Amino acid sequence: MAATLASRIPSLQAIVDASPEALEEVPDVGPEVGSSIRAFFDNPENRKVIAKLLAAGVRPAPPAPAKEGPLSGMVIVFSGELASMPRARARALAESRGARTAATIGRQVTHVVAGEGAGSKMKKAREMGVAILEEEAFLKLVRDDA
């Protein structure tokens, strides 16, 4: 979500100053997340730290543009333990082919990759009608599209 937030709001100062409503216009940011972001930046201690970082020369860079690829348009959540690789590697593999990944099931998620012991994310995905891929199907998808 951080990359999405940074790509939709042009500068750190604009994020600091954004209203909860403006934050909610960013994909993956709903009322609860928007309020949490707003509360973070409303905290005087957090503002002091940001000011110190900026004064020390830290300049946040805009995120790299999203990669286009055969999985573009997919938002994938990984659930459970994958037998063939760590989830971080699976996320990187999906992203290298244009997919976005998410940590939780939300309205924008299009697929859940189910590993061993997939639990509450699977249940929520089923309730929301999200496509569920077993690990082998995910691997075939990324191999076929490589």
The ranges assigned to domains in the chain are 2-55, 75-144
65-123 confidence digits (pLDDT tens): 666 788 888 999 999 999 999 988 998 899 888 898 888 888 889 999 999 988 888 88
For residue 139, pLDDT over 70 is answered with yes
First to last CA, the chain: 25
12-69 confidence digits (pLDDT tens): 888 888 888 888 877 667 788 888 899 999 999 999 999 898 899 888 776 666 667 8
> What is the model's pLDDT at position 114?
92
SS3 content of the chain, % helix, strand, coil (to 5): 50, 10, 40
Query: In 47-92, which ranges are E strands?
Result: 75-79
For residue 11, pLDDT over 90 is answered with no
Give the H or E element holding residue 103: none
Query: Does residue 59 contact residue 3 with C-beta atoms inside 8 Å?
Result: no
> What is the model's pLDDT at position 45?
96
The pLDDT of 6-17, averaged and rounded, is 79
Nearest to 118, CA basis, from 82, 76, 74: 82
Pick the CATH number of 75-144 from 1.10.238.10, 3.30.559.10, 3.30.70.980, 3.40.50.10190: 3.40.50.10190
The class level of CATH for 2-55 reads mainly alpha
Those residues with Cβ within 8 angstroms of residue 36's Cβ, 6 or more apart along the chain or in another chain: none
